[in-house]
Amino acid sequence: MRLRIATRGSALARWQAEQVASALRAHDPALDVELVVVETTGDRRSDVPIWQMGGKGVFVKEVQVGVLTGQADLAVHSAKDLPSGEVDGLVIAAVAERGDPRDALVGSTLEALPAGARVATGSARRRVQLADLRPDLTFAGVRGNVPTRVERAKDHDAVVIAAVALERLGMADVIAERLPVEVMLPQVAQGALAVECRCDDAATVERLAAIEHEPSRRAVDAERAFLAELGGGCDLPAGAHATVTDDGGVQVDGMLASLDGRIVLRHRDRGADPAATGRSVAAHLLDGAGGRALLEDGWR
């Protein structure tokens, strides 16, 4: 049998697609897998901040269309790039085992950064949390692939990059510090791979069930529910991290902030149901901690 996997063309995206292909072949050595490379809006416009292009979705929409139109049978995404709502006709049929969800500093540890240090990051989520910890820091935007961003560390005191991206590209040796989630809450579903296929493709749905990692799925479901509860139109910095507890439930830590970083709200909750717990954390931030006022008043 032949399976066509839609993926972005970056080295990291190809690595991720090949990992899923290898996992599928492990269950069926006779499987013939082909990568279908798709260019996305986010890839074409590397000079524009992601939030100015509409935020989440700019790295996945064209890849999803490839599956919906039959150019490919499934798609492999960095789960953090997916909008919180599922696309009509598609289903996340598997979440592979999650990698390190933490952010990493390249160029310096947080403690070693001098007063007034310049940190490069294109993420408002990262910027506001670092500014909350170190109000003296200054920031510069940065886009491009992972090697390009690592190279930018030469022009700044530090660059912030997802630790898992560096690991997957064999560049973990450049990491100066992995920031604990207690210090820097990651982007929703950071480090996880989501595999989508058509809802009506029962054979592929069944095949993908073999590579599902249940603890990773529960954590990702909780974090995505957190984001969905904040609202699809939320363009404020937000982050979440979920872990599976010993009793099989989940613990979810969530963060919502104003774009200027003057207000940073955090909350933690535990529960048996991942989606319900994620929604509970977001609801508390919105209605119990004043986050809805940030959304309605457009804090910038």
List the CATH number of the domain containing 255.
3.30.160.40
Contact 257, 129 (CB under 8 A): yes
Same-domain check for residues 198 and 244: no
Q: What percentage of the chain has pLDDT greater than the value 90?
A: 79
Q: Which of 179, 204, 234 is the endpoint of a domain?
A: 179
The two structure tokens encoding residue 140: 């510069």
Residue 218 counted as domain residue: no
Low-confidence ranges of the chain (pLDDT < 50): 48, 50-53, 300
Same-domain check for residues 80 and 197: yes
Residue 144 counted as domain residue: yes
Residue 254 counted as domain residue: yes
Element spanning 94, H or E: strand 90-95
Segments in 9-141 forming alpha helices (H): 11-27, 41-44, 61-68, 124-133
Same-domain check for residues 70 and 207: yes
Residue 153: phi, psi to the nearest 5? -60, -25
The two structure tokens encoding residue 126: 């990262």
Same-domain check for residues 13 and 82: yes
Same-domain check for residues 89 and 140: no
Residue 74 counted as domain residue: yes
Q: Say whether 43 is catalytic.
A: no
Question: Active-site residue among 81, 100, 157, 253?
Answer: 81
Residue 186 counted as domain residue: no
Number of domains present in the structure of the chain: 3
Domain range holding 197?
A: 2-97+192-212
Same-domain check for residues 27 and 154: no
Q: Which residue has the tokens 């592979």?
A: 96
Amino acid at residue number 236:
L
Same-domain check for residues 196 and 91: yes
- Spell out a b/e string for 95-108, using b for 16 or more CB atoms within 10 Å of the CB, else e: bbbbbbbbbbbbbb
Contact 92, 198 (CB under 8 A): no
- Spell out a b/e string for 232-250, using b for 16 or more CB atoms within 10 Å of the CB, else e: eebebbbbbbbbbeeeebb
Q: d(Cα 23, Cα 38) in Å, to the nearest integer?
A: 22
Q: d(Cα 63, Cα 77) in Å, to the nearest integer?
A: 9
- What pLDDT shows up at residue 143? 77
- What pLDDT shows up at residue 55? 54
- What pLDDT shows up at residue 42? 57
Which domain CATH number covers 28?
A: 3.40.190.10
Segments in the chain forming alpha helices (H): 11-27, 41-44, 61-68, 124-133, 146-152, 163-168, 202-208, 214-230, 274-283, 291-297
The two structure tokens encoding residue 243: 């872990």
Q: Which residues pair with 146 in a beta bridge?
A: none
Look up the pTM and report it.
0.91
CA distances to 12, 46, 56, 221, 288 from 79, rounded to whole Å, are 13, 20, 10, 10, 28
Q: Which residue has the tokens 């507890």?
A: 245
- What pLDDT shows up at residue 261? 83
- What pLDDT shows up at residue 210? 96
Q: d(Cα 152, Cα 156) in Å, to the nearest integer?
A: 7
CA distances to 64, 85, 167, 250, 269 from 277, rounded to whole Å, are 28, 17, 30, 7, 7
- What pLDDT shows up at residue 218? 98
Q: Report helix, strand or coil for 183.
A: coil
